[in-house]
Structure 1
Amino acid sequence: MTYPRSQQGELAKFSAELSFGLDPFQRNACAALEEGHSVLVCAPTGAGKTVVGEFAVHLALAGGGKCFYTTPIKALSNQKFADLTERYGRDSVGLLTGDQSINPGAPVVVMTTEVLRNMLYASSDTLATLSHVVMDEVHYLADRFRGAVWEEVILHLPPDVRLVSLSATVSNAEEFGAWMETVRGDTTVVVDETRPVPLWQHIMVGRRMFDLFDTDSTDQRVVVDGDLVRFIRQREAEDRMNGFGGPRHGRGGPRRFFRPLPRPEVLAKLDDEGLLPAITFIFSRAGCDGALAQCLRSRLDLSRPEDREEIDRIIDKHTGDLPKSDLEVLGYWDWREAMHRGIAAHHAGMLPAFRHTVEELFLRGYVRAVFATETLALGINMPARTVVLERLVKFNGESHAELTPGEYTQLTGRAGRRGIDVEGHAVVLWQPEVDTSAVAGLASTRTFPLRSSFRPGYNMSINLIDRMGADESRALLERSFAQFQADRSVVGLVRGIERNEAALRKLRGQLGGEDGGYLEYIALRERIKQRERQLEQKGRSDRRGAAVTALVSLRRGDVVAIPSGRRAGLAVILEPDASPGDPRPLVLTEDKWAGRVSAADFPVPAETLGHMRLPRRVDHRTARVRRDLASALRDTGISAPGRPRRGKRAPAADDHELATLRRSLRAHPAHTRPDREQKARVGERYNRVLRESETMRQKVAATTNSLARTFDRIVALLTERGFVEDGEVTADGRRLSRIYSESDLLVAECLRRGLWRGLGPAELAGVVSILVYESRQEGGFLGASGPTAPIRRAVASTIGVWDDLRSDEAKHKLPPTREPDLGFVDGVYKWARGDGLAESLLASGDQGSLLSAGDFVRWCRQVIDLLDQIHGSADDPEVAATAAKAVRAIRRGVVAVDAA
């Protein structure tokens, strides 16, 4: 976009309105933006990246255009809306988050990135005169669940819109910027790795605090503080001497008795050191709540009596509209007591009104210690003087994994308040499993690579086809950052192939060239070697298969012979195992050893040599029982064979193809040449390089156009199901284009088939919940059930469609649509029909684990979001009207208060 002359010098006007001077990176980014470039700004948390976004707002207003300010989560959108409203006034700023629509026609609109993506697909009129888009936390495009939205927006924005991308510090900023340049035109990359407030790293061992790094060391490498290392070694030695680190009698084996310092004492220590306010990151909601409860049981009080009145005013401002009847269920009084004592928890399971109260009280200095999950590190404005990490392992959605350097940097980036603190502090609480060198590695790695998570889905594909046709859609996918990164990896592979081709030409010359005869000869040798390898693998597979079959057939009391190894000799089966893939029966040997054996212990299949009667219950862990059974086994008179019987002839001995190849080799003219072995060694190198090249070519073929291939498979499935016909989107396809859900195609199929017709509002809410709710534990999908017969029928039909869809996805080699989850059906049904919060909570959640009030509200709003989409996309007027009624029925009480 070319700016009018009157805009030159806008940076000077903007700077004059600030209460602080711009840092060099801020000035460079703003200057590039004023010159008409898009900008990518990568800087640490708290460095002031948002100033560049605010300058984009200033430029848009000065030029008579619009600016959209996008964030990854609603809480950030609400926070930015408040900031910009305070600066520019209510008439100039709007908010769109799905839950809320405030002044959407304003020249500056704050929104979640999904809202902007939906606008682009719908070609919304609000995009007219759009001149700037700010994408805050753009590194979120690496998120495997929602990251694709960021790339969709970047690819679809009109070319004359200037894009301001704000990211945490990443190690491949230049790569990301190069891609932005290819898809958005002129893009200036500004990287700043300097924290505005220096960060000191510490380890707390018991009540003692140590610096993590040896700051006096002249070594260029990262060096852990020597006093810290010596103290830990001394403590571990004392534990061993006192018996705390040694074995414990009884079951369980070795066990340490180390107990970390109680949370109240940790906070008291930090308070004594002048390190409050502090955020302690605990990677579970229950852990945060438990830590707060532990502090409430203690005498810890971090607040001042004179602040009580202002704390109450802020609490009442956020929670005054909560129904009084629900306060007890919400744990309101304990929560309020914690605020009065200057301590709090903060996580997504809390009621939004509670969470926002904590945020404001923390910012104002009335709450001085917060126990939080890592979601707080996503950009919410809650900096602290100190960040405490209790553990360096967290659950990543699939398994418990160690923190990455990027996650550690993001979390500790909260420490140090710009303009308030001279320095920030990161404190790791030591436990026996904490390796100080590993902590030093985490703390010294400042950046992490940004990896795209972009993959085409059903809604994205149908919208692309509708807007630009299949061919242009394929071309657009090939312009994504995901394909850009894949293609860059291909460049290295192609170079490797080229190097190998040069080496092959040289080796061919040493072999006498194409007509020298040796190339054909070494090709024969290679084919023989490959065939022998295939037959050997087949032989091993056959032998293992026979051994597995024999083990599966064994029964309790059967006596077998373990043919070789340390356990060679007779053994009796105590517990059979019929697992077809890897059976591991429990045995007792004649030398009193009890344990499990596998197919690897039987080079020849196990054979039943006899049988012995066993007691009904055998406690093989007891030495006396093992001794008596081993004696009985020896007394059976059964003897082990002297040596394993010979197995079948090797497959190679009877293979016709191998025999033919060997005859051809012996008959080849090169076979009798005197330099045969010398040339053969050159030929082996030639074949090795040839195999390497073929492997690299296969990788190139798998990588190139990988997104386009996925897109083609999606189009094939959508065509098969009638959502696309002759390359055009059908009426059913247009309905799918308006559904933005992880289960988008399943929703569209259910609407098309009329499976939800005839349901009441509360019943529809219950059925729809199975497509958005996700249990926090395994086993959320429990079969077709529900509180009413219509719900049970609709749920069963929906699951049937899902099962059919999943089969088609497997056929087309596509990722499966996620499994419906029935854990929220009863709860949202009761709430939508008017039951109280206590009754609805009791009916919600996983087996044995009820939902928190905050999770209940969050899932209610997820259901509302999908019901809104159904209301706007259903062709059936009855279903559309029922969806609208269901939204109104759910949006009451705690669900309606302080929507975020």
Structure 2
Amino acid sequence: MTSPSLTGELAAFAAELPFPLDPFQCEACAALQSGHSVLVCAPTGAGKTIVGEFAVHMARAAGGKCFYTTPIKALSNQKYNDLVERYGRDAVGLLTGDQSVNPGADVVVMTTEVLRNMLYAGSDALRGLSHVVMDEVHYLADRFRGAVWEEVILHLPPDVRLVSLSATVSNAEEFGAWMETVRGDTAVVVDETRPVPLWQHVLVGKRMFDLFDPKSSAGKIVVDRDLQQYIKQREAADRMNSWSPGPRGRGGGPRRDFRPVPRPEVISRLDDEGLLPAITFIFSRAGCDAALAQCVRSRLDLSDPEQFDQVEAIIAKHTGDLPRADLEVLGYWGWREALHRGFAAHHAGILPAFRHTVEELFVNGLVRAVFATETLALGINMPARTVVLERLVKFNGETHAELTPGEYTQLTGRAGRRGIDVEGHAVVLWGPGVDTSAVAGLASTRTFPLRSSFRPGYNMSINLIDRMGAAESRALLERSFAQFQADRSVVGLVRGIERNEGQLRKLRSQIGDDGFLEYMSLRDRIRRRERDLEQQGRSDRRGAAVAALESLRRGDVVAIPSGRRQGLAVILEPDATPGDPRPLVLTEDKWAGRVSAADFPTPAKTLGRMRLPRHVDHRTARTRRDLASALRSTGLVPPGRERRGTRSKGADDRELDTLRRALRSHPAHSRPDREQLARIGERMVRLERETEKMRQEVAATTNSLARVFDRIVGLLEERGYVADGEVTADGRRLARIYSEADLVVAECLRRGSWRGLGPAELAAVVSILVYESRQEAGGLLAATGPTAPIRRAVGETITVWSELRTDEARHKLPPTREPDLGFVDGIHKWARGDGLAESLLASGDQGNALAAGDFVRWCRQVIDLLDQIHNTADDVEVAATAAKAVRAMRRGVVAVDSA
């Protein structure tokens, strides 16, 4: 039904829809129809893509082209299917890293990287382009792939209308202001209303509570009183039950035996409340798999027997082409049984064909409970009635951190299916340490600022120079959103500098005498010299303690001078790690563990020696008891505590002595108002330092991206990729390599490091520049591999990388990531034709076989890089070998359900 206020193409477009447009959709579409670019920020499920589909309609109506870009292949496939259903297969194309369907169509769906590559190559496909839709544009905050979005926005021809669709961000106006500067007139449309209201709950044991007090006044966050009271009663009961006779439950001690409600019972509880289908977010793959296994072992069954054939048909559609020999390896039968009972797991470690099966079954209501990692929240159209959060802490790649309000909003945004559910539900599972006030804060905060991750790299820089020269490239980088945000931060710093300078002028007028400023300078120099000497003294003392620990041998008896471990200790395992030795010791009170220089304010001295058994298992209580007894029986006595710092390091420092004499002889030293003026002077010194620090920040921030670009150009000139401001033949090869290790790849091709390899060997060697272990491997391994040619080529590749790292350090550039050898054996086996089981076992970290989904993902990334090598290598033999490697790898699970 067409709204009377809609006109032109918008009225025609709206008439084809089975539902009326929301106000924000009308506003954005009207702006687009008026010739503006638009930025639309709205919650998940609000219907932002309608604006993108109107851009497609506008382009077709005007006889132009529209490119619809998404951040990941799965979303591209999803959008392609939507548009094919609307306009027909002949009218729509699809371009992803490994798929090309009808690329000459007037409407083409593609990943954002594909469009970026088209722009750099000056592709003929760009002719007639009138509209570009950038779905999930908030991805430009992604530190690995975010730069691609800004590259596209900056490089698109000025007459192309840009439709940017984003999740709700708190700085939409800032992003829109930047878009206005680089794209011209841009309308910013922000809608913060969820299309389906969201109710927040906490599940404590088997009891469900509302998170917020229904009687609380608007705008005031009040946690439900019944919930708070029940948790207090539960905690009090747990404390009473946790005390029993005996140590730790056997003789008088507290027990910490909280057990969460089993997952099948949680799902059954939600089912009883009518809250299925549900997605339970568990922030680990192993946790998702364990949850699924729990449900399979239980009696939980959420299925409808009448839907058995429908489920089976969807399973067969996605997995029918999988080699039968691989099904056992993939755990197919247990996975299939779970689907028929209505539940599944979903994470990146699962085979893509399995993930896509789960997605289709869930969207069609045939699977009603999914256990997923947070990757499911990143764009896949898989809404539920309810979202469950087991924990509010997740591992962010470096440490376990609490969820941010933005992450909480993104996860719970899946709850509530538009057109199906009247309301959505978010359920947090309570456990010890869960603060309901903190949960309420997460649930009520809508702050998700968009921060640019844009940084110039080798490939980007060489393409910029090739297209527009170094001077225009610098100007373009200064127009990036990253620099825009940096320059905005400078505004505050400049104001701070001006404010401080005004205060300094007032303070100088109060002192009035330049001679007193000289006196204050002397006092400040003395203070800094004393501080430097004290730091030097601490450093010297630590250095002596480190040297003493490094020299200790097995069986040496030392005295730990202070702290909880004070007393005698025997060295069980020496450690000579440079700078931070941590020998394993056993103390006379039976404690075994590692000590460091921090435990020795004075250097450790060997008091004597003890004979130790050849093998000492310090983990057993009996061994610790016997050794501690033997240590005490040596008769050795710890020396008395040594006094530390009895003489200041500055007591005989000549520079400090000179400064002190100059201070005492200065005329201002005898002034009666000296200390009053000194306090004013100290404030001046603090303000001057603060002001200087802000000036340095301004200098570092202004044109920061252009300075990085200049350093990159300097390195590329040294290596012959740029000469006299022009891109060389080697540089043009680098311009066509899109990889995190782009310059290493280009150097290896130029040096012929990969000549003489077979297809499987080339795949294995190339993998070290793509693969990244999920666990720390503990440093670069020696050049290893199953064949001599692989070992030789890996060694040469590591040499290229090492030389580049040295140059990057000299040019003050971020280092290229280390090669990772964890995939060499596995991909070699796969590319030479071995089975999936053998290839998985030969891959992975520290003896753990790689998950099937990870294996396929890494294989496809290696294929992508091999394709680039095939298209860019001047060496005909290497190019042909790369093509053969691609064909050898595209089989079985790697070829099925490619998305």
TM-score by length of 1: 0.93
Deviations 1:426-485 (A, max 9, x none): 111222232222222221112311111111111111111111122221221121111111
Q: How does 1:454-469 map to 2 (within 5 A)?
A: 454-469=454-469
Q: Which residue pairs with 2:3 in the alignment?
A: none
Partner letter of residue 533 of structure 1? R
The structure 2 residue matched to 1:655, chosen from 644, 653, 656, is: 653
The reply on whether 1:611 has 2:608 as its aligned counterpart is: yes
1:376 paired residue number:
376
Deviations for 1:656-704, whole angstroms, at most 9, x for unmatched residues? 3333333333343333333333222221111111111112112222222
Inter-CA distance 141–502: structure 2 relative to 1 (3 Å threshold): same
Is the CA contact (8 Å cut-off) linking 1:36 and 1:162 kept in structure 2?
yes
Q: In the alignment, what sits opposite 1:125? A: 124
Deviation at 1:811, TM superposition (A): 2.3
Deviation string 1:714-772 (CA, Å, 9 cap, x unpaired) is 11221121111222211111101000011111111111111112222222222222221
> Is residue 2:82 matched to residue 1:91?
no
CA contact (8 A) 2:97 2:864 kept: yes
1:128–1:653 Cα change, 3 Å: same
Q: Does 1:442 align with 2:439?
A: no
Q: 1:4 matched to which residue of 2?
A: none
Does structure 2 conserve the Cα–Cα contact (< 8 Å) formed by 1:594 and 1:626? no
Question: Please, which of 758, 761, 766 is the counterpart of residue 760 of structure 1?
Answer: 758
Alignment deviations for residues 826-869 of structure 1 (CA, whole Å, 9 cap, x no partner)? 33333323333333333333342222332222222111111111
Higher mean alpha-carbon deviation, 417-426 vs 827-836, is at 827-836
1:789 corresponds in structure 2 to 788
Q: 1:441 to 1:245 in 2, by over 3 A?
A: farther
Shift of 1:628: 4.1
Q: Is this contact kept in 2: 1:236–1:245, CA < 8 A?
A: no
Specify whether residues 587 and 495 from structure 1 end up closer, same or farther in structure 2 by C-alpha distance, changes over 3 A only. same
- RMSD (CA atoms): 2.8
- Provide closer, same or farther for how the CA distance between residues 244 and 791 of structure 1 changes in structure 2, counting only shifts above 3 A: farther
Do 2:557 and 2:610's aligned partners in 1 also have CA atoms closer than 8 Å? Answer: no
| Inter-partner Cα distance in structure 2 for 1:192 and 1:444 | 16
Q: Which stretch shifts more, 522-531 or 150-159?
A: 522-531
- C-alpha spacing 1:644/1:891, structure 2 compared with 1 (3 Å): closer
Q: Give the CA deviation at 1:793.
A: 2.0
Pairing partner for 2:532 from 531, 534, 557? 534
In structure 2, the partner of 1:857 is 856
The structure-2 alpha-carbon separation of the partners of 1:64 and 1:625, relative to structure 1 and needing over 3 Å to count, comes to same
Change (3 A) 1:156 1:527: same
- After TM superposition, the structure 1 stretch with the greater mean CA deviation from structure 2, 289-298 or 20-29, is 289-298
Query: Is the contact between residue 245 and residue 257 of structure 1 (CA under 8 Å) also seen in structure 2?
Result: no
1:213 counterpart residue number: 212
**C-alpha displacement of 1:541:** 2.3
- In structure 1, the residue matched to 2:541 is 543
Asked if the contact 1:244–1:256 (Cα under 8 Å) also holds between the matched residues in 2, the reply is: no
How do 1:461-860 and structure 2 match up within 5 A? 461-512=461-512, 516-555=514-553, 578-583=576-581, 599-600=597-598, 603-608=601-606, 610-611=607-608, 613=610, 616=613, 628=629, 632=633, 635-636=635-636, 640-641=639-640, 644=642, 649-779=647-777, 782-860=781-859
d(CA) in 2 for partners of 1:590, 1:307: 69
Instruction: Sort the Cα spacing of 1:123 and 1:245 in 2 relative to 1 into closer, same or farther, 3 A.
Output: farther
- Kindly indicate whether the alpha-carbon contact (under 8 Å) linking 2:137 and 2:149 is maintained by their aligned counterparts in 1: yes
SS at match of 1:383: coil
Describe the SS at the equivalent of 1:809.
helix
Following the alignment from structure 1 to structure 2, what is the Cα–Cα distance between the partners of residues 154 and 431?
46
Mean Cα displacement is larger for which, 70-79 or 183-192? 183-192
How far apart are the structure 2 equivalents of 1:386 and 1:750? 51
Q: By how many angstroms is 1:570 displaced?
A: 6.9
Structure 1 contact 143–453 (Cα < 8 Å) conserved: yes
- Of 493-502 and 373-382, deviating more is 373-382
Q: Secondary structure of the equivalent of 2:209? A: strand
Verify the 8 A CA contact 2:242 2:256 in the aligned structure 1. no
Change (3 A) 1:630 1:861: closer
SS at 1:134 equivalent: strand
Instruction: Give the drift of 1:408.
Output: 1.2
Task: Tell me the distance in 2 between the aligned counterparts of 1:476 and 1:102.
Answer: 33
CA contact (8 A) 2:136 2:379 kept: yes
8 Å CA contact 2:588, 2:632 repeated in 1: yes
With over 3 angstroms needed to count, the CA separation of the structure-2 counterparts of 1:588 and 1:123, relative to structure 1, is closer
Question: Is the Cα contact below 8 Å between 1:570 and 1:640 reproduced in 2?
Answer: no
C-alpha deviation, 1:411, in angstroms = 0.9
CA-to-aligned-CA distance 1:143-185 (integer Å, 9 cap, x gap): 1111111111111111111111111111111111111111111
Unaligned runs of 5+ in 1: 1-6
Contact 1:557 1:614 in 2 (8 A): yes
1:863-882, aligned counterparts within 5 Å? 863-882=862-881
Alignment pair present for 1:290 and 2:272: no
- The answer on whether the counterparts of 1:347 and 1:355 sit within 8 Å (CA) in structure 2 is yes
Distance verdict in 2 for CA 1:356–1:607, change over 3 Å = closer
Which AA in structure 2 matches 1:82? N
SS in 2 for 1:216: coil
Q: One-letter code of the match for 2:683?
A: R
In 2: Cα distance, 1:551 partner to 1:824 partner: 39
Instruction: Name stretches of at least 5 consecutive residues in structure 2 with no aligned partner.
Output: 1-5
Q: Is the 8 A contact 1:593 1:626 kept in 2?
A: no
Deviations 1:783-821 (A, max 9, x none): 323333322222222122222222222222222222222
Aligned equivalent of 2:360: 360
Q: Report the secondary structure of 1:105's partner residue.
A: coil
Deviation at 1:601, TM superposition (A): 5.6
- Show CA shifts across 1:100-141 (max 9, x none): 111111111100010011011111111111111111111111
Q: After alignment, is 36-45 or 847-856 more displaced?
A: 847-856
Q: Which amino acid aligns with 1:398?
A: E
Separation of aligned partners in 1, 2:786 and 2:638: 64
Q: Deviations over 1:548-573 (max 9, x none)?
A: 33444455665666666787777776
Alpha-carbon spacing, 1:667–1:193, altered in 2? closer, same or farther (3 Å):
same
- Confirm or deny: 8 A CA contact 2:570 2:610 kept in the other structure: no
* Contact 2:610–2:631, Cα closer than 8 Å, also in 1: no
Moved more, 789-798 or 499-508: 789-798
* Aligned partners of 1:388 and 1:426 also within 8 Å: yes
Q: CA 1:762–1:611 in structure 2 vs 1: closer, same or farther (change >3 Å)?
A: closer
- Percent identity for Structure 1 against Structure 2: 80
The residue number in structure 2 matching 1:3 is none
Q: 1:309 aligns to what?
A: 309
What TM-score does the superposition give when structure 2 sets the normalisation length?
0.93
Whole-Å separation in 2 of the counterparts to 1:91 and 1:864: 28
Structure 2 Cα separation of the partners of residues 696 and 739 of structure 1? 40
In the alignment, structure 1 residue 180 sits paired with structure 2 residue 163 = no
Corresponding residue of 2:329 = 329
* 1:23 paired residue number: 22
Instruction: Report the Cα offset of residue 402 of structure 1.
Output: 2.0
* 3-state SS of paired residue (1:328): helix
Shift in alpha-carbon separation, 1:582–1:249, aligned structure 2, 3 A: farther
Which residue of the partner structure matches residue 385 of structure 1? 385
Distance change >3 Å, CA 195–CA 574, structure 1 → 2: same
- Within 2, Cα distance between the matches of 1:650 and 1:553? 28
For 2:70, the equivalent position in structure 1 comes to: 71
| More displaced 10-residue stretch of structure 1: 836-845 or 889-898 | 836-845
Cα distance in structure 1, aligned partners of 2:203 and 2:221: 19
1:666 counterpart letter in structure 2: R
Maintained 8 Å contact 1:604/1:647: no
**For structure 1, which segment, 127-136 or 780-789, has the greater mean C-alpha deviation from structure 2 after superposition?**
780-789
How many correspondences in the alignment? 888
**What secondary structure does 2:783 align onto?**
coil
Q: C-alpha separation between the residues in 2 aligned to 1:258 and 1:675?
A: 67
Q: List per-residue Cα deviations over 1:394-428 (Å, max 9, x = no partner).
A: 22223332222111111110000001100001111
Aligned to 1:894: 893
- SS of residue matched to 2:130: strand
> Which letter maps to 2:865?
L
